[in-house]
Structure 1
Amino acid sequence: MERMSDYEDDEDDLELGRLPGGGRSAPRVQSRASGEQGISVSADRIERVTVQYGSPAGPPEPLPPTQPHWLTPRRLAAVAAGVVALALVIALVVQEAGSGGGSHPGPGPLPPVSTTPAPTGSASPSPSTPPATPTSSAPAPPPPSPSPDTPSPSPSATVIPVRWQGTVTLVDGNNGPGQFYWDMDVYPPSPGLPSDLSLDCNLVCTSGRIDGHAVVPWKQSAAPTRDQCANLLNSELGQSSVDVKPGSMACFGTNQGRVGYFVTQDPPDQDSQLLAVVLWEHR
């Protein structure tokens, strides 16, 4: 009992910070190796000592594992991308080595997959190309024959130019020098022989009748063409004179085979005849 009392007195002295000799010292905590378990002593500054009772102290709780500082999400993504790229390079190298060293050709490219949807049962598929038109075995109809009223196309006629056009004066010579005969083949035509146009003279010349190498009257009102005169002369062979009056027309032919026509004009007097002449070249 005396030993326990001494211990309590010492404890009180420690709590008040007094030394056994009466002085103060820095707070200390002394623990006894009393062999008692479950007792922990802590000092709260210098005022008090707290004693907590509990279960026997166990092992310290393990700390959670810490992640290395270099394993960040961004670095993990970069590492994954590098691994994928390396795998692709290895695959390409292996493929090139297999295609170059192999003796058998690899499989050809696959046919393209059609993206056209399959027709349903209700819709009929439209053909990609129109159906061929069946040819008829019947022969083609012959071209229509031209009707009798339709004139057949004639070849283009050759245009014969006019050789000379002018006025010829025939004078009987009863009252002076006469110009009985005109040579129409010379250029320009002039009085002379051989005669192609002349007055009809039989002892006495008359101005109401025209003689020539070939002369045929033209009885239509419109002036004739060269072809019309040539056809008329060829149909009336041997006619060499024609009775005329002012306004009469006649076709004539020369000694060298030229074709022309004339129209009688009003004579200046009774002893002469005035002719307006058109003469064409040879065909």
Structure 2
Amino acid sequence: MRLVLMGDLHYHEVDEAIPGWLEARNDFYQTFLRRFMEVEGDAHISLGDLTNYGHSSELNEVYEILRNGGRTFYHALGNHDLYASTRNEVLAISGQARYHVVKTEVADLVFLDTAKEMDFEDWGGWVDEEQLSWFEEVIQASGTKPVLVFAHHPVHKTTTNSDKDKGSIHPDIDMWKVLSKKEGVGIYFNGHTHIDSIVNQQNWTFVQLSACLDQHGLRVVEIDRDEIRISAVDVADAALTDNVEMLYNNMKHFRHNPLARGQESDRACTVSLRLAAEHK
């Protein structure tokens, strides 16, 4: 199985009175999303903040581009996706479930909703009791099969900056109460903090993706019988590098992070499945 992931995209509305902004935005995002969809994969996944403010125009426009790609696409909701629209309004446009699991022969793919609805003051993550109970059942039912979790917010005190205020799922939410029940391998993918980071804790690997505006790249996840390989793919088109400064200078609700790439060790990793297979 092969998965293609992107971090925070922040597709945004523009003020057409500012010369060149509309053209720069369209050139950047159409190019980036074309490259994203061109990479072969069984599923293409956004880790949230697909849009910059959750305006219906942002959602409809970006989904039109994605649907034209003809790929299986999953979207874990981010806080920016729910600023201007309600959760139900966003899900109606995306056509997806709030949280769900996709069971395959090689792994269970779990999509969480960690975003608060229309809360402009608190961009931190939250998981309600109903979803947490569901998540626990999914983890227990997975047995020793690998579980890959896709969410916007990191688990508190895992990846870089997940210890910051509003930088993770709220620390009062005991995610480890659920995660610790996983037999075998678990991998948790997230965005939100806009910096690449890979951290191992217990039998879980936490993989954080930076924002696409800061780091023009994707992650490819390849799953076979013996291992899961996570690699970084840089996208170097001139349409990205030539236009991104215009976006930085004009868009609201986004601050450029020049340290987004992290360390080279935060870009790729391999997780062995052999030990889990031996314990079956």
Is TM more than 0.5 here?
no
TM-score, structure 1 normalization: 0.21
Structure with larger RCO (C-alpha < 8 A, sep 6+) = 2
TM-score, structure 2 normalization: 0.21
Structure ranking higher in strand proportion: 1
